[in-house]
Structure 1
Amino acid sequence: MARPSSKTDLLEAASSQYEQLQNLMASLTDIELTSPFDFSGDSKKKEAHWARDKNLRDVLIHLYEWHQLLLKWVAANQGGQSQTFLPAPYNWRTYGQMNMAFWEKHQTTPLEEARALFEESHQAVLDLAASFSNEQLFNKNVFDWVGGTSLGSYFVSATASHYDWAIKKLKAHRKKCGNIIRER
């Protein structure tokens, strides 16, 4: 997937990846939905998220919470309240701790609620992206609170790129479940 560099491409990529993720979720079997994620035996999966997320709910909540980061950040700064993308006390070196805090916060959130939160926040992010012009999204230095990158890059990261991450994780889980069934 080429990284979007225009408003049209952003909205298209976000919608396309969202649809692909929805289709994948709809195709999960009961075994795939109820089996906990376990990638501990795969030495290639070293990033913290492979151990953190234990099920579909955890993945959807992660996406939802990153949508919230984007929505709150844009709203605050547009409202004249200077705010960084990552809330204090987190920064780009410690955001893994923030992700873990999101995970812990939602351990009692039911899967269906996680789905609804994700679907609502996805639409809110798309609506917000649509409210900006192409130049506001993809020209650098349009908004001083964005820093040296473009606002659109944050939207791409919170949608299409993150959905791609989720799809890869769910496909890896599906493959692992298939291997377990074949071993029985």
Structure 2
Amino acid sequence: MARPTNKESLITLSQSSFNKLLSLIDSLPDPKAEFPSGTMNRNVRDVLGHLHHWHLLMLEWYKTGSKGEKPAMPATGYSWKETPELNKKIWEECQHSTLSDTRQRLINSYNQIQEIIKSHTNEELFEKKKYKWTGTTSLGAYLVSATSSHYEWAFKLIKKASK
């Protein structure tokens, strides 16, 4: 499906991509198995933790931006060029959680993101430069990146690693 450009397609694709990801995980013979070497995220828990933490970042950007302030992006102390270092920190934080707990946290943060999407009109989501904190892009573009695009990345990674 094409990248969403309206509220309806954003909701539809984010939900279907998320459900497809969870279905894949549920179909795995051993979702706790380690992936072959070559990726930082070494198992399903790591991938779900990554998604959850990026949801949390999006939620923080939205909260800060909604107050008229400029959020630290991608996170306090990190520039976009330092995303690999941020992802390593996220990975390290995920090592102290179970797959079950991480999955539930992801579902909870997913639901929070869905509430944000549903609370906005199509114009509020997809008009570029509508919000100062989103710069030259739209809120919807950030939400696409935090949802369907990221879920598709996770799906492909888990599918490839599970072969």
TM-score (normalizing by structure 1):
0.85
- Aligned counterpart, 2:27: 27
Q: 1:73 aligns with which of 61, 64, 68?
A: 61
* 1:1-184 alignment runs, 5 A limit: 1-30=1-30, 33-40=31-38, 51-175=39-163
- Aligned counterpart, 1:182: none
RMSD of aligned alpha carbons: 1.1
CA offsets, 1:140-182, max 9 Å, x none? 010011001111011001100000001101110121xxxxxxx
Contact 1:4 1:156 in 2 (8 A): yes
Contact 2:35 2:161 in 1 (8 A): yes
Partner letter of residue 37 of structure 1?
F
Between Structure 1 and Structure 2, how many residues are aligned? 163
Shift of 1:88: 2.5
- The change in CA–CA distance for 1:153 and 1:82 in structure 2 (over 3 A counts) is same
Contact 2:7 2:121 in 1 (8 A): yes
Contact 2:21 2:151 in 1 (8 A): yes
The structure having more radius of gyration, on CA atoms, is 1
CA distance in 1, matches of 2:134, 2:140: 10
Q: Secondary structure at the match of 1:135?
A: helix
TM-score (normalizing by structure 2):
0.96
Unaligned segments of structure 1, at least 5 residues: 41-50, 176-184
Unaligned segments of structure 2, at least 5 residues: none
